[in-house]
Amino acid sequence: MFLVHDKLTIRNAEKQDAPILASWWNDGAVMAHAGFPRGLGTTPGKIAEEIAADCDGSRRRLILEIGEKPVGEMSFTILRPLPAAEGENSEDPWKDWPLYRGIRGATAEIGIKICDAAYQEKGFGRIFLSMLIRELLRRGAVKIVLDTNLKNTRAQHVYEKLGFVKQGVRMNSWRDQEGVLQSAVDYALTENEFVDYSGESEKCPVWSYRACTGEDLKRLWDMNVADHPGKPIWERFRSQAFRHDALQMAKTYAAVRNGRPVGEGTLLFSPECEAVGELKHIVIPGEVCNVNGLRIRKEYEGQGHISRMMKLMEQDAAVLGFHTVTIGVEPRESRNLAIYLHWGYTDYLEYEFDHGALVIYYGKELCGGDGLL
Ligand SMILES: CC(C)(COP(=O)(O)OP(=O)(O)OC[C@H]1O[C@@H](n2cnc3c(N)ncnc32)[C@H](O)[C@@H]1OP(=O)(O)O)[C@@H](O)C(=O)NCCC(=O)NCCS
């Protein structure tokens, strides 16, 4: 997840964030509300291992930043439907669940901690929560749930402002680190109840960079085809894109502005993709993938959106086991060439003439398989 709204960012936790997470989680003052007044006593190494197992379809730890300063963390967990009881239809309801396709129909459990106390009670909590909730709903979640300590009246106040409905109180249901009995309050929220404090607007948009949902892909291709009237080849590109996506030969990512996809890029995983053609080095299954079709609507060019989306695509490629990402550029497009070199695409691979135009392909080695999406 990668959400940006003015100075606020919510992004996936990465291995490099393990030291700051450890410093927060080992601090009793930060962790007391969660029942650990002496801190968790964990290590950056353990946290890095946990983070490495995160994925959008199950669980994500997220870092909150204000003006690039990490100030806290959030998380979401997708609650899987219960497996069928013995004797019932035992078909796994999640068997066709495409992990990167988001969370359509699911309940998402969320949590938030603004760890740097200097940033509490300044209105940021409700904005961060609104950004995350809106994104989860847009990805297809139908319900958001959370719980809090009965004593945490500040958190309850904020959740109720956001529209969360109290489901009940579990009195003396758990013991904290000191063995003291504690009570929990359960909350749930659906889209109709949600009061959005993000301040998302035309003037101050929320940007999300993500692997396309089915709806994103459809909207992007409706737009691409409409942008090229009288050019039937774009219809062909559209059907290729949907076929590649369905067969997991490729994966498209979107830069989404206030819920509407306006930019895109695709990772090609299979040499069978038409764009790979006769080229030998730009896609090698399981090792090397290619970035194709980077574009953003003219009015949003030069604002860093494609760079952010690319960061996510590279992280995802690393998680999927690819060690190198490649990209092609026409040298006459000197601005694009300069941008790709700046992103680290500096290893010359091969060239081709595509409809008479010279295209040069460069590669970038990914630093280990610890990237995260
Ligand atoms: C809970 C938390 C996320 C809220 O975020 P925040 O940025 O501090 O909250 P906001 O500034 O948006 O809002 C704070 C509100 O709580 C109110 N408040 C403060 N102390 C309160 C208390 N003891 N009881 C009730 N309301 C209280 C404030 O008046 C304000 O409400 P208002 O704007 O209606 O006047 C944040 O404080 C936090 O991370 N705390 C530590 C960890 C934590 O408790 N996490 C939740 C665990 S479930």
Q: What is the pLDDT of residues 173-213, one digit of tens each?
A: 999 999 999 999 999 999 999 999 999 999 999 999 999 98
Q: Has residue 358 got a pLDDT over 60?
A: yes
Give distance in angstroms: CA of 111 to centre of ligand 1.
13
- Give the model's pLDDT for residue 100: 47
Tokens of 246: 């369905």
pLDDT (mean) for 244-270: 96
Q: Which of 295, 289, 255 is nearest to 273 (CA)?
A: 289
Give distance in angstroms: CA of 108 to centre of ligand 1.
21
Tokens of 314: 């590279």
pLDDT band with cut points at 50, 70 and 90 for residue 83: low
Question: pLDDT digit string (tens) for 41-59?
Answer: 999 999 999 998 888 888 9
Question: pLDDT digit string (tens) for 23-41?
Answer: 999 999 999 989 999 999 9
Give distance in angstroms: CA of 19 to centre of ligand 1.
26
Q: Which atom of ligand 1 is nearest to the CA of 114?
A: 39
A 10 A CB-CB count for 29 gives: 11
Which residues lie with the beta carbon below 6 Å from any ligand 1 atom? 33, 112-114, 120-126, 148, 152-155, 157-158
Cα 30 to chain centroid distance, Å, stands at: 26
pLDDT (mean) for 66-73: 97
Tokens of 277: 């053609």
Give distance in angstroms: CA of 154 to centre of ligand 1.
4
Torsion of CA 167, 172, 175, 179, to 10 degrees: 160
- Give the model's pLDDT for residue 89: 59
Q: What is the largest CA-CA distance in the chain?
A: 75
CA distance 93 to 81: 7
A 10 A CB-CB count for 314 gives: 22
Q: Has residue 369 got a pLDDT over 50?
A: no
pTM of structure: 0.91
Q: Has residue 128 got a pLDDT over 90?
A: yes
Tokens of 121: 């009670």
Can you list the domains of the chain with their CATH numbers?
A: 2-193 (3.40.630.30), 210-365 (3.40.630.30)
pLDDT band with cut points at 50, 70 and 90 for residue 116: very high
Give distance in angstroms: CA of 129 to centre of ligand 1.
12
Bridge partners, residue 360, by sequence: 329, 351
- Give the model's pLDDT for residue 210: 93
- Mean of per-residue pLDDT scores for the chain: 92
Question: pLDDT digit string (tens) for 212-224?
Answer: 988 999 999 999 9
- Give the model's pLDDT for residue 3: 97
> Please, what is the angle between helix 214-226 and helix 233-246, to 10°?
170
Give distance in angstroms: CA of 17 to centre of ligand 1.
25
Q: Which atom of ligand 1 is nearest to the CA of 146?
A: 48
From 27, 33, 149, 158, mutation site for ligand 1 pocket: most ligand atoms within 8 A of C-beta: 158
Question: pLDDT digit string (tens) for 160-169?
Answer: 999 999 999 9
Bridge partners, residue 326, by sequence: 290, 363
The owner of tokens 């904020």 is: 158
Q: Which residue, by CA, sits nearest to atom 48 of ligand 1?
A: 148
Q: Which atom of ligand 1 is nearest to the CA of 147?
A: 48
pLDDT band with cut points at 50, 70 and 90 for residue 340: very high
